[in-house]
Amino acid sequence: MAGRRKKNGDGEGEGPAAVVDNPNGTVPEDNTGEEKRQPFHRIRMRSVTGAIWQNRSQEGNTWFSVTLTRSYRDGQGNWHSTQSLSGPDLLVAAEVLRECFAWICDATQRTTQSVSANGTGGGTGDDIPF
């Protein structure tokens, strides 16, 4: 799946660029015709991908969680993914996790601010929801 390049928030484009896959959190169908749950958002740098999952409680509360995977090719050239990271992947994984954290903060602050702007929330929009 092709991704979009994401620039750093400073607008200068310096530093590592992340590839953002599936920005709308759409749910494609699998081979059986059933919907397969997809991450709400993905951030990828080199071979490490952070998948951001949106979760909802029965009470309607929303929170996000993150899973990390690393892509690799086997001897026959087939692509696979694993949750195991090697030494050189660790700093890349840390940067992916930092980007995931920033995305979740931005998403939750936008939600909090829109609720406050509508007059339906009691907060100032500065509260951290986790």
Break the chain into its structural domains and give their ranges: 4-117
Q: Among 36, 111, 33, 101, which Cα is nearest to 68's?
A: 101
What φ, ψ does residue 48 adopt, rounded to 5°?
A: -105, 130
Contacts of 90 (CB under 8 A, 6+ apart): none
Specify the pTM: 0.63
Model confidence over 18-62: pLDDT tens digits? 544 544 445 455 566 667 889 999 999 999 999 999 999 999 899
**∠ at Cα 86 (102, 53), nearest 5°?**
35
The answer to whether 70 and 84 have CB atoms below 8 angstroms apart is: yes
Sole residue written with tokens 């993914």:
81
Model confidence over 58-69: pLDDT tens digits? 998 999 999 999
